[in-house]
Structure 1
Amino acid sequence: MLNMQFDIKRMSALKEILLYIRDGGSLEAFQIHYEQHFNDVRPLDLLLMQLELINGDYGVTMEDIKKFSSMHAQLSSQSLNEKDILPANHPVQIFKAENTAFQVVLNQIQQLLQLLEEDSDQAIGDELTEHIFHLGEFHNHYNRKEKLFFPIMERYGHIAPARTVWRKDDRIRALYQALKKQIVRVPLDVERVRMRYTAFEKEFKEMIFQEEAIILPILQKVFSEADWLAVANESDAFGYALIDGPEEKCAPTFEEQTNDTPPAENLVMGGGGYLTTKEAQLILNNLPLEITFVDKNDLFKYFNDITDASEMMLVRTPSSIGRNVANCHPPKSLMKVMTIIRDLKTGRRTSESMWFKMKGKYIHITYKSLFNDKGEFLGILEYVQDIQPFFELPSEVKMGLSELEK
């Protein structure tokens, strides 16, 4: 069935209603228009259409959506029942708690800015800088949304909404980086800090509203209990923002979940003997490399388990298995990623490497195309290595074994 967010006729009707409300339309007239066009539309589809309108180029503002939500709530007779009350360690509750914490810090920043505009005290400037940098923990919040929520949304066929929200997230990240660069400049230009902060705060607060009024309700209508358990189990890998993570985990471990394709007893290795499945798994998980395999259909199919996800150089979690590799990357880097994949598929290049510094380490990444003996493309192998130890090797040649402690 065609997703309702792509129903152009319905989308146009919803936009007309939003513009009607913007111009001060009455609740009674709103009810007539709504029942005429949306009485038979599922709540999920209505939310998806709002998500598309607010993030697309439709001329719809967040204020329009807020007014619509307010009027819609007045017409709705839905009441909260016991099954709607989620436990405190549920991912939805954690996400909302972080948003509440964001609001507190935003208010503190606003107050400090006002004080600084009245009195350019160095101590106030230092405190303001500290709060702005502390707010940077929102990156953890966004990463969980993009790396845990979005892959599951995509499995249910909602790919476009995830991409549009991710683009908005990247814009907010860019605004935050501009704010950070401005706050550390000497001498401090309070007027420019105010300008950068106002631009960031507006879109950041809009995303908070969008998450709570649209995105989380969509997820609650789409995700199964097993999906939420997977999100809860994998959230530690990305960390939390301004709050501590839940003490109790409500999700089973990945190993406890069922697997429709049990491993074979042996894996035959051509030209070099054979390994049992357990032996191969142990070898892969003890290599000093993070390995990822993307199959010929561009699906993320495998990663080795050499360390906890939170300690990985490039975080991978089970929720991403089966995800199209294009959706695993931010929209801003999609063109570069797809160019590399195309070149590896066609044989224009057999491998591609890059390196960068992250958290005090030099990280080296290689993408290598895999072909069988018939020349058929099978997929792409990615391996990631911390090469910092190589920069720290002593100048003399080491030939002997390390001395064991006696």
Structure 2
Amino acid sequence: MLNMQFDIKRMSALKEIILYLRDGGSLEALQIHFEQHFNDVRPLDLLLMQLELINGDYGVTMEDVKKFSSMHDQLSINDKENTFINYATNHPVQIFKAENTAFQVLLNQIQQLLESIEKNPDQTIGDELTQHIFHLGEFHNHYNRKEKLFFPIMERYGHIAPARTVWRKDDRIRALYQALKKQIVRLPLDVERVRMRYTAFAREFKEMIFQEETIILPILKTIFSQSDWLAVANESDAFGYAIIEAPAEKWTPTVEKKTNDTPHAENLVMGGGGHLTTEEAQLIFNNLPLEITFVDKNDLFKYFNEITEASEMMLVRTPSSIGRNVANCHPPKSLMKVMTIIRDLKTGRRTSESMWFKMKGKYIHITYKSLFNDEGEFLGILEYVQDIQPFFELPSEVKMGLSEL
């Protein structure tokens, strides 16, 4: 089935309906127009189109979509695909919603503190305001789970464009938050500038909460299977949670089908240097002091080793991303740089590329290397990541012997 988010004709028709509502059009005329264009459209596809309209350059605002959403019942939209499900409190959907509720509470507290300072600038509550704004920064965990766990599964079902447009909006919200954070730590506290930065951030942040609650989660609830939600639950710890505590127990389906996905241990021929069993090769890869990723010749993320828990990785990788196009694994803002490196490695313009940076008190070194077989055929790209901080901390004296027991 053609993904409805790419149906330009219907997208334009939905835009016209939404703008007609903005201009105060009558419900009767709206119903006729809606039935003419959307009588055979699934609620899922309608949600996907709304997601595209509010995040793309269509001139449709969040208020427009809110007004349209409030008309759903009156427009007789048949939503049998997404009937009410009573999810357990530790289900990823409930956790995501609980975080959004916590965000709303924290936003209200920040708003009250700002109003109090504006009324009485001599109050000593600047530190409390700063703490609240820094605490709000945990939304990064919330967004990372959405982008690195929800989106890869959406893409497997063919819904690539909505994930990219939402991720782009997430990055804008991140930038607005960074501007707010920089302003709040400047002394003396400029309340007017803090208010300006906060207002810009809070407006778009609240709009994203609305998107998640009324559009994104209903889409996921429609298309995700129990095994999809189980993968999300199992991999969420790698990215952490926002404001709320991590669930005491991971969610599991009521009925869990047992499968054995462990590959049969067989010999792997290693050209000229002997051979290894699958088990031996896996142990070697997982004990190298490097995080290894392999992207195949079709730009698909195919493998990563597991030298530590996902939450402790320098660059977090989880099984949900396996099979994902490498372009979709990176934020939209860095896509051009990533695709340039991939193009150059594929064409042989360069055989490798390295970069290094400091993260969480460590120097991280990354190398991307193109892989060609003996016939000159490009097979993929190997990425290896290493914590090189220990090398900076080596003592000046030479160590040649073994450590004492």
Q: TM-score range by the shorter chain?
A: over 0.9
The aligned counterpart of 1:42 is: 42
Cα–Cα, structure 1 residues 366 and 79, in superposed 2: closer, same or farther, change >3 Å? closer
- Count of residues paired in the alignment: 400
Cα distance in structure 2, aligned partners of 1:382 and 1:122: 52
Aligned-residue identity in percent: 87
Cα distance in structure 1, aligned partners of 2:81 and 2:327: 39
Aligned-pair distance for 1:5?
1.3
Aligned-pair distance for 1:143?
0.2
Cα distance in structure 2, aligned partners of 1:33 and 1:82: 26
Alpha carbons 1:21, 1:68 under 8 Å: kept: yes
Matched, 1:136 2:131: no
Matched, 1:334 2:339: no
The aligned counterpart of 1:59 is: 59
Q: Which amino acid aligns with 1:312?
A: M
Cα distance in structure 2, aligned partners of 1:122 and 1:266: 72
Deviates most, 84-93 or 100-109: 84-93
- The CA deviation string for residues 1-51 of structure 1, in whole angstroms up to 9 with x for no partner, is 221111122111111111111112233333222222212110011001101
Matched, 1:155 2:156: yes
Cα distance in structure 2, aligned partners of 1:306 and 1:244: 26
Cα–Cα, structure 1 residues 61 and 257, in superposed 2: closer, same or farther, change >3 Å? farther
Q: List gaps (5 residues or longer) in structure 1.
A: none
Cα distance in structure 1, aligned partners of 2:402 and 2:244: 46
Cα distance in structure 2, aligned partners of 1:176 and 1:81: 33
The aligned counterpart of 1:125 is: 126
The aligned counterpart of 1:6 is: 6
Alpha carbons 2:43, 2:79 under 8 Å: kept: no
Alpha carbons 1:288, 1:385 under 8 Å: kept: yes
Alpha carbons 1:90, 1:232 under 8 Å: kept: yes
3-state SS of 1:123 partner: coil
Alpha carbons 2:356, 2:364 under 8 Å: kept: yes
Cα–Cα, structure 1 residues 131 and 315, in superposed 2: closer, same or farther, change >3 Å? same
- The CA deviation string for residues 214-239 of structure 1, in whole angstroms up to 9 with x for no partner, is 11111111111111110111000000
Aligned-pair distance for 1:82?
8.6
**For 1:236-255, what aligned pairs fall within 5 Å after superposition?**
236-251=237-252
Cα distance in structure 2, aligned partners of 1:399 and 1:165: 54
3-state SS of 1:367 partner: strand
The aligned counterpart of 1:164 is: 165
Cα–Cα, structure 1 residues 156 and 80, in superposed 2: closer, same or farther, change >3 Å? closer
Cα–Cα, structure 1 residues 122 and 354, in superposed 2: closer, same or farther, change >3 Å? farther
Cα distance in structure 1, aligned partners of 2:170 and 2:84: 31
Q: Which amino acid aligns with 2:133?
A: I
Cα distance in structure 1, aligned partners of 2:12 and 2:378: 44
Cα distance in structure 1, aligned partners of 2:67 and 2:375: 61
Q: Which amino acid aligns with 1:105?
A: L
The aligned counterpart of 2:103 is: 102
The aligned counterpart of 2:200 is: 199
Aligned-pair distance for 1:79?
9.1
Q: Note the aligned Cα RMSD (angstroms).
A: 1.7
3-state SS of 1:71 partner: coil
Cα distance in structure 1, aligned partners of 2:86 and 2:26: 33
The aligned counterpart of 1:313 is: 314
- The CA deviation string for residues 119-140 of structure 1, in whole angstroms up to 9 with x for no partner, is 2246311111100000000000
Cα distance in structure 1, aligned partners of 2:115 and 2:404: 62
Matched, 1:274 2:257: no
3-state SS of 1:390 partner: helix
3-state SS of 1:352 partner: strand
Alpha carbons 2:265, 2:279 under 8 Å: kept: no
3-state SS of 1:275 partner: strand
Deviates most, 301-310 or 70-79: 70-79
Alpha carbons 2:81, 2:222 under 8 Å: kept: no
Aligned-pair distance for 1:262?
3.0
Aligned-pair distance for 1:155?
0.6
Cα distance in structure 2, aligned partners of 1:80 and 1:283: 47
Alpha carbons 2:237, 2:311 under 8 Å: kept: yes
Q: Which amino acid aligns with 1:39?
A: N
The aligned counterpart of 1:390 is: 391
3-state SS of 2:73 partner: helix
The aligned counterpart of 2:232 is: 231
The aligned counterpart of 2:266 is: 265
Cα distance in structure 2, aligned partners of 1:4 and 1:138: 30
3-state SS of 1:353 partner: strand
3-state SS of 1:84 partner: coil
Aligned-pair distance for 1:242?
0.3
Aligned-pair distance for 1:257?
5.1
3-state SS of 1:348 partner: coil
Q: Which amino acid aligns with 2:103?
A: F
Cα–Cα, structure 1 residues 103 and 333, in superposed 2: closer, same or farther, change >3 Å? same
Cα distance in structure 2, aligned partners of 1:358 and 1:219: 33
3-state SS of 2:72 partner: helix
Cα distance in structure 1, aligned partners of 2:149 and 2:44: 20
Aligned-pair distance for 1:100?
0.3
Cα distance in structure 1, aligned partners of 2:198 and 2:205: 10
Q: Which amino acid aligns with 1:126?
A: D
Cα distance in structure 1, aligned partners of 2:122 and 2:247: 39
Alpha carbons 1:230, 1:251 under 8 Å: kept: no
Cα–Cα, structure 1 residues 79 and 321, in superposed 2: closer, same or farther, change >3 Å? closer
Cα distance in structure 2, aligned partners of 1:26 and 1:100: 34
TM-score by length of 2: 0.95
The aligned counterpart of 1:324 is: 325
Q: List gaps (5 residues or longer) in structure 2.
A: none
